[in-house]
Structure formats: structure tokens, C-alpha cells
């Protein structure tokens, strides 16, 4: 909660989480709602969004593909009409594709860029003018350790996440005197559906057991485990609060010391 000194009461901020029906996005949405915030989630899968609403993860849900700028503008406007102006944006939606660089053509790089960079751009554009006009805003991009270092066989994903972090750093400078902070969270391999799908692919392709595949993922983390989505959510809560008002343009790794 934010303190409203003039009114002497708590202010309910409105938080929008893209990719909010599953994984890290769902954990973040739930954490903010538990703190009493109004929470809207955005995603492509209407059934998953409705399930999240039924589970009381969020107050409102809108459906759009983050790569579609007009749909994003329209649906974010709908969320704002339902829950009020967006005070905090969590740009979490993303996707990963695995292939050696030799089999990663320009189309694969474009696809990864569309989701992981342009999807962030399309989420920020509708909310930033209102934030600057009101003199308060929090923009948090869920990037990845792939924004901070390279990984083999995901060159297109790494390139797109590095680009998203570049956007964060540039926009933080543009908004530094406008009451808006812009930061990135960079989790390592996290216990989500996305990682579960990747584990299934490794098992199917290599014949390894699921335990062996999981160990391959976990070995990147010096703590020897996957990151818990709630750990990412806790970092988002901090960045969204008044106590982090001087923190902007940062990439915060949540990866057990990997980077």
C-alpha cells in the first residue's frame, strides 16, 4: 500500500500484469492482490484468464496478443475503465524458442523480438502518458538472466531479452524526472509452466529422465535449484513501492548468484 498523507488513508494502486494467468505473472498478480491492490491481468488464453479470476488472483482480466499494438491499446484502455488508471505495469509476457544459431533464421529472431521486446513496447505505450501526467508510475519488465549473459542454443531469445533491457535503461533516463521508475527483473530458470515444457522437450529429445533434465537446468544456479516464482513477485512488490523510488534503470538478477 502507498500512504496518502493528505487523506491519511491507504491508496489502492492499479497494477496491470501481462502474461498474468500463469507462472511468474500469476505469482506477481496474486502477491499484489494480497497487498490490497487492484490487479488486472492480460493474456491470450481466455480460459486461463478466467481460471485465474476464479482463483481470485486478480480483479479484472483482458485478452490480447502483446504483439498486436492496437489490441493492446484497446484492452489496456478497457482495464483502465474497469479498475482505474494503471499505476504499475508488470510487462511479464514472453516466450522462448530453442535452436542452434545455424538453424535460427531471421524469422526466428523476428518472432522472439516481437514477443519479448515489441510486446513490452506495446504494453508501455498506452500507460506511460498517464503515469507522467500524474507524476507517479512503476514499470517493471520481467526479463531474464538471458538479458545479462548468453546461453547456448537460445541466441534469438538472448538477443531479444538484451534488447528489452536496453529499452529499460534508456526509458529510465527519459522518465527520471517524471515520477516514473523503469526497472527489469532478471530471474534465472524458474519453476513455471515454461520451464516444465522445456523439460518435456529435453526428455523427449535426449531420452534423459526428467530428474536428469531438471538437474541440467538447476546446475546454472549456484544454489542448485529453480527459482520460486514468489521470489520474483517479492522483488516486484519492492520495486513498486515508495521505498524504491530512487531505484530506476536497474536489472535485478534473481538467480541464486548465477550472475
- Domain count for the chain: 2
CATH at residue 234: 3.40.50.720
Angle subtended at Cα 28 by Cα 189 and Cα 61, rounded to the nearest 5 degrees? 120
220 and 100 in a common domain: no
Question: Hey, which residues are catalytic here?
Answer: 157
In a domain, 16, yes or no: yes
221 and 150 in a common domain: no
Domain range holding 100?
Answer: 2-188+228-253
What does the pLDDT profile of the chain (259 residues) look like in tens digits?
A: 444 433 334 568 999 999 999 999 999 999 999 999 999 999 999 999 999 999 999 999 999 999 999 999 999 999 999 999 999 999 999 999 989 999 999 999 999 999 999 999 999 999 999 999 999 999 999 999 999 999 999 999 999 999 999 999 999 999 999 999 999 999 998 877 777 677 777 777 778 887 877 787 788 899 999 999 999 999 999 999 999 999 999 999 999 999 9
In a domain, 130, yes or no: yes
Q: Exposed e or buried b for every residue in 38-75, given b needs 16+ CB within 10 A?
A: bbbbbbbeeebbeebeeeebbbbbbbbbbbbbebbbeb
In a domain, 28, yes or no: yes
147 and 113 in a common domain: yes
* pTM of the predicted structure, to 2 decimals: 0.91
220 and 122 in a common domain: no
In a domain, 132, yes or no: yes
113 and 24 in a common domain: yes
219 and 244 in a common domain: no
Is residue 185 within 8 A of residue 244, CB to CB? The reply is: no
219 and 118 in a common domain: no
Amino acid at each position: 500500500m502507498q500512504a496518502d498523507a493528505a487523506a491519511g488513508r491507504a491508496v489502492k494502486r492499479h497494477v496491470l500484469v501481462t502474461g498474468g494467468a500463469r507462472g511468474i505473472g500469476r505469482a506477481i498478480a496474486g502477491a499484489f492482490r494480497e497487498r490490497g491492490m487492484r490487479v488486472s491481468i492480460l493474456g491470450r488464453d481466455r480460459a486461463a484468464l478466467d481460471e485465474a479470476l476464479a482463483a481470485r488472483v486478480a480483479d479484472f482480466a483482458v485478452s490480447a496478443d502483446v504483439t498486436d499494438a492496437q489490441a493492446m491499446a484497446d484492452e489496456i484502455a478497457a482495464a483502465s475503465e474497469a479498475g482505474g488508471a494503471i499505476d504499475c505495469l508488470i510487462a511479464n509476457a514472453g516466450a522462448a524458442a530453442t535452436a542452434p544459431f545455424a538453424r535460427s533464421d531471421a524469422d526466428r529472431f523476428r518472432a522472439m523480438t516481437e514477443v519479448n521486446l515489441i510486446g513490452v513496447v506495446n504494453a508501455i505505450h498506452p500507460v506511460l502518458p498517464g503515469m507522467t501526467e500524474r507524476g507517479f508510475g512503476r514499470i517493471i519488465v520481467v526479463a531474464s538472466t538471458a538479458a545479462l549473459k548468453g546461453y547456448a542454443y537460445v541466441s534469438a531469445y538472448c538477443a531479444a531479452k538484451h534488447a528489452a533491457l536496453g529499452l529499460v535503461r534508456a526509458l529510465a533516463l527519459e522518465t527520471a524526472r517524471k515520477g516514473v521508475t523503469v526497472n527489469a527483473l532478471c530471474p534465472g530458470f524458474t519453476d513455471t509452466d515454461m520451464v516444465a515444457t522445456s523439460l518435456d522437450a529435453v526428455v523427449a529429445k535426449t531420452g534423459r529422465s526428467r530428474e536428469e533434465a531438471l538437474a541440467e537446468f538447476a546446475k546454472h544456479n549456484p544454489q542448485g535449484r529453480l527459482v520460486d516464482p514468489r521470489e520474483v513477485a517479492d522483488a516486484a512488490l519492492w520495486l513498486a513501492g515508495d521505498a524504491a523510488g530512487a531505484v530506476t534503470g536497474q536489472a535485478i538478477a534473481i538467480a541464486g548468484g548465477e550472475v
